[in-house]
Structure 1
Amino acid sequence: MLRGMSTVALLANDFEGAKRWYTELLGVAPYFDQPWYAEFRIGDYQHELGILNGEFAGQLGGVPATDRPGGVVLYWQVDDLDAAIVRTLELGATVFQPAREFGEGFTGASVVDPFGNVLGLMHNAHYLEVLAAGTTGTPAPVR
């Protein structure tokens, strides 16, 4: 039933600030940019990361922003967890969950962006196996 992550939508009351912050973090501008919603395509599979303008949250299916982070943490694959944490902190994020090992080949952390959203960062051996397999469907060994 679940075939893969399609789109993750973050909420920001400072919509313009969030677009600037994520453009700086990701190194690309949103490919879709409207007053109510902006969306970036990122990563190996061009996953969609959206920013929902807090002014429109109730009308567009979002939930109102709160003054503290919470809810689901979506982890994004990173090549270097420590460097990813440092980069987000340089841009004004704060540590939510410090770096830790989830199991052999899986390390992760999460930060809170300047707009109150939790951003998960993970180095995931399984992700690398799937990526290395390409279209053959046969997992390649982890390096």
Structure 2
Amino acid sequence: MSIKTIIFPVRDPAAAGALYRAVLGVEPYVDEPYYVGFRVGDQEIGLDPNGHHHGMTGPVGYCHVDDVRAILHTAVAAGWHTRQDAKDVGAGRLAAVVEDLNGNVLGLLQR
């Protein structure tokens, strides 16, 4: 398991997309009002214009997992707190977010 996706909350996806294009040197594979996504190698960089509305205060790294609900259950049993329960984020993908005892967040993404 590794962190393969990092989502940044943004207020202006068009302006943020232009900034990330310049730095990453690639065009987004998706450029929609609800999400701008870049792939650099096997790393995904996502810009979420709704992130602030969902409580994101900064970037969230997502581990790709086979079963979000099972890993979420294991994480909570180990002492993590659920910040976002497993939900469909589109195209059949499920995502959840957990928070450790220090307020650090980690996302779980099932493709």
TM-score, normalization by structure 2: 0.49
> Greater relative contact order (Cα 8 A, min sep 6): structure 1 or 2?
2
TM-score, normalization by structure 1: 0.39
Find the structure with the greater CA-based Rg.
Answer: 1
